[in-house]
Amino acid sequence: MVQSGSRLWLRQASGRAGRRGRLRAHGDGTDRPLARAPARAEAGGADRAQREGPDRRRAARVRRVGALALAFAAFTACSAQAPAQNAPVEQGTPQTGLTQVPLTIRSATGTHHFTVQVAETPDQQERGLMFTKSLGPDQGMIFPYDPPQDISFWMKNTLIPLDIIFIRANGTIARIARAKALDETPLPAGEPVAAVLEIRGGRAAELGIKPGDKVDWGKDSSLRPERG
């Protein structure tokens, strides 16, 4: 059917350096410089631990939050790039009541006859063969476009594989795409086409139908391609 930068900066507070002290020696009055008294050093260390403890814990929390944010961003990016072919299937029923017309394809292996439904309106074309569970070897659906369009098809909610045949305005086949069930990868025509035909997957290869073969359908001239 028709296919309808930021960064996180972390900062950690650093402790202030301890002061060099002086110790008066016992027994004389001389002041002697001391790099750092052991007891004073222990006290200073404890004091710094008390001052720096909250800062360190706060920095650790910020680092953890930053790591979680980066991990979430990576997960989101991977999810956005994941293939769409495993998308969940909606609930629905095949559309009915469409006009049916005869269609023939003339190829090097002979003339092949089909009976196809005509998806004429935008709503009919959007639904296409969604929820169809089986398709006969000589059945299909055709999507006419006036004027011709460079259209893309996909397989959303389509339960069976299909051959998607893109048909030029002169009735020749431009391209045949093998479409997998439920695969939402876009399948473009690659050029403006006047119609797209969907038949059972693999059927074109079975009949030897190839690009360049001629397609004709219906008694109503509005449903026929131009003659080239």
For residue 110, the Cα-to-chain-centroid distance in whole angstroms is 40
pLDDT digits (tens, 9 = 90+) for 30-40: 444 444 544 44
Per-residue pLDDT at 18 exceeds 50: no
Q: What contacts 36, CB < 8 A, 6 or more positions away?
A: 18, 20, 21, 44
Q: Where are the beta strands (DSSP E) in the chain?
A: 21-24, 31-34, 100-107, 110-118, 139-149, 152-153, 162-167, 173-179, 187-188, 193-200, 214-217
Mean of all residue pLDDT scores within the chain: 76
Domain locations in the chain? Answer: 21-80, 100-223
Please tell me the predicted confidence (pLDDT) of residue 220: 52
Contact call for residues 166 and 209 (beta carbons, < 8 A): no
pLDDT digits (tens, 9 = 90+) for 92-123: 999 999 999 999 999 999 999 999 999 999 99
Name the CATH superfamily for 100-223.
Answer: Protein of unknown function DUF192 (2.60.120.1140)
